[in-house]
Amino acid sequence: MIPKVFKEVIDLGDGREISIETGKLAKQAHGSVVVQSGKCMLLCTVVSNYEQKDVNFLPLTVDYREKFAAAGRYPGGFFKREARPSDGEVLTMRLVDRVLRPLFPKDYHSETQVMIQLMSHDPEVMPDAMAGLAASAAIQLSDFPFECPISEARVGRVNGEFIINPTFAQLEESDIDMMIGASADSVMMVEGEMDEISEEEMADAIKFAHEAIKVQCAAQVRLAEAFGKKTTREYEPEREDKDLEKKVYDMAYDKVYAIAKAGSAKHERSAAFQQIKEDIKATFSEEELADYGGLVSDYYRKAEKAAIRDLTLDEGLRLDGRKTDEIRPIWCEVDYLPSTHGSAIFTRGETQALATVTLGTSRDANQIDMPSQEGEERFYLHYNFPPFCTGEARPIRGTSRREVGHGNLAQRALKGMVPDDSPYTVRVVSEVLESNGSSSMATVCAGTMALMDAGVQMTKPVSGIAMGLISDADSGKYAVLSDILGDEDHLGDMDFKVTGTADGITACQMDIKVKGLSYEILVNALQQARAGRLHILGKLTDTIATPNKEVKEHAPTMVTRRVPNEFIGALIGPGGKVIQEMQKETETTIVINEDPVTEEGIVEILGVGKKGIDAVMAKIDAILFKPVVGSVYEVKVIKMLDFGAVVEYMDAPGNEVLLHVSELAWERTENVSDVVNMGDVFDVKYFGQDPRTRKEKVSRKALLPKPEGYVARPPRDDKRSGGRDNNRGRDNRGRDNRRDDRKPREDKKED
């Protein structure tokens, strides 16, 4: 039986379309759609268990995978099966999760899984831009309690014109690469990188993307209505007790307010809040706590959040005593680690990051191998967030999604300031040693200083800041918070990280937790962020104003050299013998790549100290050496022969040529050793290729004066020589004629 298929088409306005289809695939899932643009197809399925889990959060898993078969490829490596997700897939999972999660009810705790798979790849379509649309469309076809449809769109700008969901080629030319997630009413998530754009330009890009998202949300509504909107499932809500909530609120609010106003440090403040909570619990019997102890904890957290938010809105004060636009104290240090190629410490309040830089060749580039993207990164950043940085002890089980996301944000912030002609592959590693808010922005600041300390010639230094927002819809009050604490991140209405130079924004990441945030508030937050960024940037440049002119003594120096294609084989040698011996003798690393345009060889030489690099350059000069006809060169005898001497050009060791015995001296030379010996150094003149022998000809005698009375030997008689050849040559020996004169051989069998 052919299934009934329901389909909606979204016009992107430039001849491209996105279709959403359901009814054909994965019908046992609670909701499934196929989203297609061009040849790119994503299958998204959603399932949510009907029983509630005994947890106080939504156990939501968003999984995005790209199948290699979608691009007609095999997985790389020995194990020919898709396994752990790549960093690119993890980043897409985070983008979708951050928009979906806030739209589920706070008391919905059923295990929920959203699976998005790239089933067919189109090199002109970036699939991650459609993942949010696919997830939301599938949820709209389910019975999940979900607030409203959402979608995500990428926005680029080429030649001043905004583009929705640009192609890979367009993105290469774009000065903006932003992903925006939103509902029809509100922007909820922004993440991306920019080429030093202004705050107003960023707001315009968000508005442009939001208009496109509204169209995509309307298409989901139409599809759900055509398919048949399901009745939202019923689930067991969390227990409520309004009287208990008021009782806890009355006991906690004033005490929390007083401690919050005192402006204490993180651990002291946390201990004081915990004591208030314990004192409140102590007023209840064991039986009461066994019955609704969880509610007491939940209601205490609500009272704590309300008190801290009111303190900020009413008095403009924050948990650590700062004003809303005040930045925590900062201290910095560079060149802290003696053995790294570059290092820096950035400490802001109770957040600290230690960044290191390692310089390498193109061989050290980070390889990207995804069905939708192949290539390499010559600049990359890794972010580590160990449990001790927050005073906790917990198991470490690989790199978390959070670490991947925060590292990517810092990488995007810095990479545009590393010049394209930088010869090095650069790896930055950030170790977060303390954390109380915005460790990713501390990573950007530490990374900037470490790069400059390493001698990487950054175009401009970059700083970053995390902004927060506390707002009250009823009163219309709001407060934008600069340099937020960890607690302010949890209790606020916005977490907005923005990085940039003195001239503009280079990257951002924003999560908005309230509906209908006005663009006026957004622009105000961006302007306040700029002031904070510039303040922090001043602290960085006070520590190290410009990149060091040279790399450190123990760090490798990189030199690149272009070599014509025809000499690459000689440089590598048979089986790599020449290049391997060079690396061993000079203690350098040599990498040869081909320029795809000119087909020249690009030779990278990485070594500590000038001596080894100079030796490699001399060897390359020798291999590339081409003597000029008529020029004089100094040579050294390296081999004696009966008919001459093999000499080596002193300017090009390894380049040899035969000095024939007849070119040693004007006088007749019976023995080569009568004129030259092993190791002798003298000048010769280069005559190019001898037309008779077709070998290179050099002469010593041409640089010597002719002896008095010297009579040149008569030239060889070519006619006589030719006659001898004609008389005695193979062609004229009569053999062919004799064959012709012979009678045909008789066939004995016929006889």
CATH number of the domain to which 61 belongs: 3.30.230.70
Q: 717: pLDDT confidence band, cut at 50, 70 and 90? A: low
Same domain, yes or no, for 562 and 667? no
388 or 492: whose pLDDT is higher?
388
The percentage of residues in the chain with a pLDDT greater than 90, rounded to a whole number, is 57
Query: Does 744 fall in a domain?
Result: no
pLDDT tens digit string along 623-669?
Answer: 888 888 888 988 899 999 888 999 988 877 778 889 888 888 888 88
In the prediction, which pLDDT does 716 show?
54
Domain C-terminal end among 663, 682, 703? 703
* Helix and strand numbers, DSSP H then E, in the chain: 16, 29
In the prediction, which pLDDT does 63 show?
97
Q: Which residues contact 749 (CB under 8 A, 6 or more apart)?
A: none
User: What's the number of domains the chain is made of?
Assistant: 5
Both tokens of 499, joined, read 């990085």
Same domain, yes or no, for 666 and 577? no
Query: Does 494 fall in a domain?
Result: no
Whether residue 724 has pLDDT greater than 80: no
Going by the DSSP 8-state scheme, the letter that residue 598 receives in this structure is T
Both tokens of 614, joined, read 């100079």
Same domain, yes or no, for 687 and 572? no
Q: What is the spatial distance between Cα 206 and Cα 215, in angstroms, rounded to a whole number?
A: 15
Residue 536 contacts residue 499 (beta carbons within 8 Å): no
In the prediction, which pLDDT does 7 show?
95
pLDDT tens digit string along 569-585?
Answer: 888 888 888 889 889 98
User: What's the whole-number mean pLDDT along residues 38-55?
Assistant: 94
Owning domain of residue 273: 242-315
In the prediction, which pLDDT does 713 show?
66
Whether residue 41 has pLDDT greater than 60: yes
In the prediction, which pLDDT does 721 show?
45
Q: What is the spatial distance between Cα 52 and Cα 58, in angstroms, rounded to a whole number?
A: 10
User: What's the whole-number mean pLDDT along residues 182-208?
Assistant: 93
The residue count of the chain comes to 751
Q: What is the spatial distance between Cα 99 and Cα 203, in angstroms, rounded to a whole number?
A: 19
In the prediction, which pLDDT does 729 show?
44
User: What's the whole-number mean pLDDT along residues 331-345?
Assistant: 96
Whether residue 603 has pLDDT greater than 50: yes
Same domain, yes or no, for 570 and 423? no
Whether residue 749 has pLDDT greater than 80: no
Q: Which residues contact 666 (CB under 8 A, 6 or more apart)?
A: 701, 704, 706, 707, 710
In the prediction, which pLDDT does 369 show?
85
Return binding residues for Mg(2+).
489, 495
User: What's the whole-number mean pLDDT along residues 658-684?
Assistant: 88
As beta bridge partners, residue 317 has 323
Whether residue 115 has pLDDT greater than 60: yes
Q: 105: pLDDT confidence band, cut at 50, 70 and 90? A: very high
Q: What is the spatial distance between Cα 316 and Cα 681, in angstroms, rounded to a whole number?
A: 86
Whether residue 734 has pLDDT greater than 60: no
Rounded to 5°, the CA angle 194-197-203 comes to 95
In the prediction, which pLDDT does 3 show?
85
Query: Does 747 fall in a domain?
Result: no
Query: Does 739 fall in a domain?
Result: no
Same domain, yes or no, for 216 and 251? no
Both tokens of 107, joined, read 């008391």
Whether residue 744 has pLDDT greater than 90: no
Same domain, yes or no, for 16 and 106? yes
Same domain, yes or no, for 32 and 93? yes
pLDDT tens digit string along 500-557?
Answer: 999 999 999 999 888 877 788 888 888 999 999 999 999 999 999 999 999 998 998 8
Same domain, yes or no, for 616 and 642? no
Query: Does 506 fall in a domain?
Result: no
The whole-model pTM stands at 0.83
In the prediction, which pLDDT does 723 show?
45
Both tokens of 214, joined, read 């509204």
Q: What is the spatial distance between Cα 674 and Cα 680, in angstroms, rounded to a whole number?
A: 12
312-318 long-range contacts (CB < 8 A, ≥24 apart) are 312/470, 312/479, 312/481, 313/470, 313/472, 313/475, 313/477, 313/478, 313/479, 315/261, 316/479, 317/260, 317/261, 317/263, 318/263, 318/481, 318/485, 318/488
Residue 483 contacts residue 438 (beta carbons within 8 Å): yes
The domain that holds 674 is classified in CATH as: 2.40.50.140
Return binding residues.
489, 495
User: What's the whole-number mean pLDDT along residues 596-604?
Assistant: 86
Residue 665 contacts residue 634 (beta carbons within 8 Å): no
Query: Does 692 fall in a domain?
Result: yes
User: What's the whole-number mean pLDDT along residues 326-333?
Assistant: 95
Whether residue 336 has pLDDT greater than 90: yes
pLDDT tens digit string along 264-312?
Answer: 888 889 999 999 999 999 998 888 888 887 889 989 999 999 999 999 9
Query: Does 99 fall in a domain?
Result: yes
The domain that holds 608 is classified in CATH as: 3.30.1370.10
In the prediction, which pLDDT does 237 show?
85
pLDDT tens digit string along 123-156?
Answer: 999 999 999 999 999 999 999 999 999 999 999 9
Same domain, yes or no, for 60 and 156? yes
Same domain, yes or no, for 58 and 205? yes
User: What's the whole-number mean pLDDT along residues 181-192?
Assistant: 93
Residue 665 contacts residue 704 (beta carbons within 8 Å): yes
Cα 95 to its chain centre, rounded Å, is 17
Same domain, yes or no, for 564 and 529? no
Q: Which residues of 603-617 are buried (b: 16+ CB within 10 A; e: fewer)?
A: bbbbbbeeebbebbe
The percentage of residues in the chain with a pLDDT greater than 70, rounded to a whole number, is 94
Same domain, yes or no, for 303 and 354? no
pLDDT tens digit string along 409-462?
Answer: 999 999 999 998 888 999 999 999 999 988 999 999 999 999 999 999 999 999
Domain C-terminal end among 577, 602, 624? 624
Whether residue 224 has pLDDT greater than 70: yes
The DSSP result for 154-192, as a single string, is: EEEEETTEEEES--HHHHHH-SEEEEEEEESS-EEEEEE
Query: Does 235 fall in a domain?
Result: no
Whether residue 210 has pLDDT greater than 50: yes
